Amino acid sequence: MKITFLGTGTSQGIPVIGSKHPVCLSNNKKDKRLRVSILIELDECTYVIDCGPDFRYQMLRANCHKIDALIFTHEHADHVAGFDDIRPYCFRQGALPIYAHNRVINSLHERFAYVFETKNRYPGAPSVKTIVVKNEPFILNNVTVTPINAYHNKLQVFGYRFHNFAYLTDVKTIEIEEINKLKNLEVIVVSALRIEPHHSHFNLEEALALIATVKPKKAYLTHISHALGFHDDVEKTLPQNVYLAYDNLQIEIKPKDYEK
């Protein structure tokens, strides 16, 4: 399984438009972050989690020629605003399977009504096949995917576990039953917005607390704002098995690590 971090930034990305914050002015490429998304390559299939406003550029940058499924964590704009740019995949592959909570699918219907139109359908519109995700495991091309239910302030969001890899973004609270789904992981990816507490996101302390609880072999932090600090400075402060993710970072989990 190969994971590519397509974007590791928060809703405004880094640099923030017009900002003179030192991190936004940094020349370090690791301090330049597109909106958060990941690409998972597993058993010759390719999955993308979330498609924000940077989706088109992210797919070009990753040289991604096919997507076997698009999976959504929730419906905020930085996670869905690139939805129309799935068109090239649909034109080549046919209807693209999308997996999401029913509430998220309803939101996509409202915001991208033409995609779901059946009577007077525009011939250039993307075509999709919707699959409702509930808080129970589902099968994706012979792989069992386990949703992780969490809350982004009061909004329900899903994280996802593929074998011994788990991805959680835009999380503020998570119940113990869901935390128990995160045991025995090779790698976990968790959002960590900034140092100071935030009403709807883990800050660094909260993200590290979850990591300490579930004890993965490695952890990567994502959905990072400029307020967290310079990449190189922050990474020096982290526990030995915790790293700041950055755009274009690729990690591999070998089959022996998730077939034990």
Contact 183, 202 (CB under 8 A): no
Segment (H or E) for 45: strand 45-49
How do 128-132 and 155-162 pair as beta strands?
unpaired
CA-based nearest residue to 36, from 84, 89, 87, 76: 76
Nearest to 133 by CA among 69, 176, 215, 82: 69
Could you give the CA distance from residue 243 to residue 142 in angstroms, rounded to a whole number?
Answer: 30
Contact in structure between 82 and 89 (CB atoms under 8 Å): no
Tell me the per-residue pLDDT of 5-64, one tens digit each, with 9 for 90 and over.
999 999 999 999 999 999 999 999 999 999 999 999 999 999 999 999 999 999 999 999
- Write out pLDDT tens, residues 171-219: 999 999 999 999 999 999 999 999 999 999 999 999 999 999 999 999 9
Rounded CA-CA distance 76/143 in Å is: 27
What's the CA gap between 250 and 118, in Å, rounded? 39
- The CA–CA distances, whole Å, from 129 to 80, 117, 139 equal 16, 13, 15
Residue 258: pLDDT band by 50, 70, 90 thresholds? low
The CATH number of the structural domain formed by 2-253 is 3.60.15.10
Using an 8 Å Cβ cutoff, are 193 and 10 in contact?
Answer: yes
Cα 204 to the chain's mean position, in Å?
Answer: 17
Strands 242-244, 143-152: parallel, antiparallel or unpaired by DSSP? unpaired
Where do the domains of the chain lie?
2-253
